[in-house]
Structure 1
Amino acid sequence: MNLPYDDKTCGWYAALPPPRPVQSLRGEQIADYVVIGAGFAGLAAARRLAHHEPEARILLVDAQRVAEGASGRNSGFVIDLPHKFALEHPDPAHKQRLLGLNRAAIAQLQSLIDTHGIDCQWSHAGKYQGAVGERGLAYLAHFEKLLSDLGEPFHSVEGPALQSVLGTSHYRRAVFTPGCYLMQPAALVRGMGDSLPKNVELLENSPITRLERDGRGGHVLHGSAGRIRTRRLLLGTSIFTQEFGYLKNRLLPVMTFASWTAPLDDAQCQRYTGRFDWGLTPADHAGTTVRMTQDRRLIIRNTYKHVPKYGRSIDDAMRARIHADHRKAFLARYPDLADVPFTHTWGGVYAISRNFTNFFGQLEDGVFASACDNGVGAAWGTISGTLLADLAVGADSAQLRDIQAVTGMPSRNPPEPFLGLGVRSRIKLAAWNSRSEL
């Protein structure tokens, strides 16, 4: 079984204070519900289960510490709009359902942050989608048409106005959309883990290595130092869902990488001519994401890798090459900040599907899953985990019907070695075609 094996160089996590003492799985345990995976989906599912069943014993189990995995490694965008591929969907009702679900997730996160005082740089900053060359500009014009068709507000920014935001003249034009929120993902995820309801027990550093039926309608979950018996199991395990035997040959493990700088000192801030606290995604999806954080760090994110063994597919030499590529992208945008070093370069693995379809629902009797976020984990994980708990306890709602209407079964993948060859070729082709946007 391939377990999570993330690098230890995630800047978001390194910026946090030391975590509280760990509680891990030990001995024989019995629970009414078990949630595996303490990312956005698992945290939301456990919290919702506790709301529905305040007397139930709920165990939330993760192979790592909370925020060490994918949910703490993203670029810190919580986006309300449908993702680029979903925005192409021909059915307007489909896109409106996605909008409603994403905005419900944002409202839910806002409420949790306010209620529990989670310090995670949460900001209603909106989002810029930027273009560098002609290819990017063409994508940007198409994006504007899709937004107009959807009836969503946006405005174009270019020239000195754009430079005054980004602190660079590298971009020709950008489209600003107001509904996105920015945050420090590891801080948000840890904050949610630290504020779980009383009847949710969080077990970290507790990989589940095997599931088996107990012959009485339930499951036994095996760990290295203990076992759990339960009749209801919810999987918020994203790409690792396939390691438990579900959705086999339907999920593609992809890792994307980011680097960030040391915080700009006062002299460097004088040379930096932009604002603080903004985020830009590329109009061409294979381009570069850039962020300026509230604590004065610049982030560069690009480079995609097919990682069939997850973190074990990446070695130090590859990480060094990615670091060098990020440095080139940074200097192309901020040559006047060449003295600002990168302090961390990290990757995060997520699941995509060939038909860009998210899975949500019941896998078998007593087993439920939300898997394959297709790269938009913060909002989707939050709302899908919440509604998965509703499904597990039989609580109907309009939102549950909406998520069932926009999800389905990910396409089956071709066998290896053809799958790996095809994915790697497509990633290389996308990088080549998008080289002006990197």
Structure 2
Amino acid sequence: MTALPLDDNSCGWYQALPAPTPARMLNGKHNADYVVLGAGFAGLAAARRLAEHQPNARILLVDAQRVAQGASGRNSGFVIDLPHKFALEHPDPAHKQKLLGLNRAAIAQLQGLVDQHGIDCQWSHAGKYQGAVGERGEAFLDHFAHLMKDLGEPYRRVEKQELAGVLGTEYYSRAIFTPGCYLMQPAALVRGMAEHLPDNVELLEQSPIRGLQREQGQWRLQGDEGSITTPRLLLGTSIFTREFGYLKNRLLPVMTFASWTRPLTDEELARYGGQLNWGLTPADHAGTTVRMTADRRLLIRNTYKHVPKYGANVDEGVRKKIRADHRNAFVARYPALAEVPFTHTWGGVYAISRNFTNFFGQLEEGVFASACDNGVGAAWGTISGTLLADLAVGADSRQLQDIRQVTGMPSLNPPEPFLGLGVKSRIRLAKWQSRSEI
């Protein structure tokens, strides 16, 4: 038995979508040439690429939930081209250039799908602000500018007055704008891609896999109402990879949380006074992410929790406290909109590793995985899922060589209870250190 996702039902991105069509679920016994577990960014990309390589193969894409209910539909809607903040510290410039190239290949791929299928997901080449509130944040900004200069990437300093004209708040002292980021509605993008899969990819939703075992050179996946036998299994299961016995004690389950408002009225929009459709990430790693969506919603994201039992670690009392913290961050930035209510507060689970290393590759005969996106799943999931399919069929490429060079084995974690105590202490310390930026 595996521990299944226990995501809340209050994700604003998902609830803003029309009700989905009825799910096709796993029933009876099936044989497939390939099975992809997890229909997020990685799984969708892997299934699509497999179908391109093997148009006559039977490919099953299986998810325990509805598409977009999991982590891929719960992020803050950034598709970032730059290496993650920690990866930017890597001493080898070639390593960072490979990451940059992989992320941009993912963006181009997503752009192509949005254009080809007319996916309505607020996709836009909006760039991204990295904002500082005070001296601590500004020190991080100065360091970020230094890293951008070393990387040879364009950036622009945005001072307080200009920034306030964009954000509709004078809360931030300054920011750095980088042009390569795209913004989108994540649940709409993920669902849209699932609705336009190749003909030989069969999507099975609400079909949790409870067991995995090797039988006569094949893998048997056992569900509640059926089973699948396949010679090749691709795992796009992120943190849940460990539930199948792989990368155990190497992945850390962390949940981050967001709240958003209803769409602002015309009068509220006038009081707000800023622009639509922008995204700001914090200069300080533990600070607050803010979005203004294309459809007039303000989103606040902060608060991190170690969740060894996934969604079971978060009850309504915890969510209520997080919502209050988000409220404080919102009112601090937008006091003139203090009466505008939040309509949704939600969390999403993702995997990080102690050495901030992504896993990509073959786990054992017939089993391949991309796991541990370290919090930057949209671009990384897309390109890693695509290249995992290449690896599974034996199709070599420069990009495949690059991703194998920039990935590795996540570090082993200390045993419990030391792991839980250490992670919780580190999160509390980061929150205290970053309190002026939250």
Task: State yes or no: 1:342 paired with 2:342.
Answer: yes
Alignment match, 2:178: 177
Instruction: Identify the residue that residue 145 of structure 1 maps to in structure 2.
Output: 146
SS in 2 for 1:311: helix
Superposition pairs for residues 18-417 of structure 1, below 5 Å? 18-214=19-215, 216-417=216-417
**For 1:83-131, what per-residue CA distance to the aligned partner results, in whole angstroms no more than 9, with x for missing partners?**
0000000000000000000000000000000001100000000000000
Structure 1 residue ranges (4+ consecutive) displaced by more than 3 angstroms after TM superposition: none
SS of 1:175's equivalent in the other structure is: strand
Q: Which amino acid aligns with 2:206?
A: N
Q: Which amino acid aligns with 1:10?
A: C
Deviations 1:35-73 (A, max 9, x none): 000000000000000000000000000000000000000
Distance in 2 separating the partners of 1:12 and 1:314: 19
Q: Distance in 1 between matches of 2:75 and 2:32?
A: 31
How many angstroms apart in 2 are the aligned matches of 1:104 and 1:41?
14
Mapped to 1, the partners of 2:339 and 2:422 lie a distance apart of 40
Provide the rounded CA distance (Å) in 2 between the counterparts of 1:305 and 1:112: 34
The whole-number CA distance in structure 2 between the counterparts of 1:224 and 1:339 is 46
Consecutive unaligned residues in structure 2, runs of 5 or more: none
Q: Tell me how far apart the structure 2 counterparts of residues 135 and 424 of structure 1 sit (CA, whole Å).
A: 23
**How far, CA to CA, are the matches of 1:106 and 1:149 in structure 2?**
23
Q: What secondary structure, in the 3-state scheme, does the structure 2 residue paired with 1:46 have?
A: helix
Match in the other structure for 2:426: 426
Q: How many residues align?
A: 437
> How far off is 1:192 after superposition?
0.5
Alpha-carbon distance in 2 for matches of 1:293, 1:266: 15
Cα shift readout 1:311-366 (whole Å, capped 9, x = no counterpart): 00111100000000000000000000012100000000000000000000000000
Task: Give the whole-Å Cα distance in 2 for the aligned partners of 1:235 and 1:127.
Answer: 31
Q: Report the secondary structure of 1:221's partner residue.
A: strand
Deviation at 1:379, TM superposition (A): 0.0
Could you tell me how far apart the structure 2 residues matched to 1:36 and 1:161 are?
Answer: 46
Q: CA RMSD in A?
A: 0.4
Secondary structure in 2 matching 1:436: coil
DSSP-derived class of the 2:301 partner: strand
SS at match of 2:436: helix
Q: In structure 2, what is the Cα distance between the partners aligned to 1:434 and 1:109?
A: 34
Paired with 1:421 and 1:389, the residues of 2 have a C-alpha distance of 38
TM-fit CA distance, 1:10: 0.1
Gaps of 5+ in 1: none
Q: CA separation in 2, counterparts of 1:284 and 1:42?
A: 31
CA distance in 2, matches of 1:426, 1:209: 33
- 2:407 aligned partner, one-letter code: T
Code of the residue aligned with 2:392 in structure 1: it is: A
- TM-score if structure 2 supplies the norm length? 1.00
2:85 aligned partner, one-letter code: K
| TM-fit CA distance, 1:217 | 1.4
Letter in 2 for 1:118: I
Note the C-alpha offset of 1:159.
Answer: 2.1
CA distance in structure 1 between the aligned counterparts of 2:48 and 2:101, rounded to whole angstroms = 21
Q: Matches of 2:162 and 2:430 in 1, distance apart?
A: 30
Q: Give, as a single letter, the amino acid of the residue that structure 1 aligns with 2:344.
A: H
Cα distance in 2 between the residues matched to 1:273 and 1:141: 28
State the Cα distance separating 1:191 from its structure 2 match: 0.2
Alpha-carbon shift at residue 383 of structure 1 (Å): 0.1
> Distance in 2 between the 1:147 and 1:329 partners?
28
The amino acid across from 2:329 in the alignment is: A
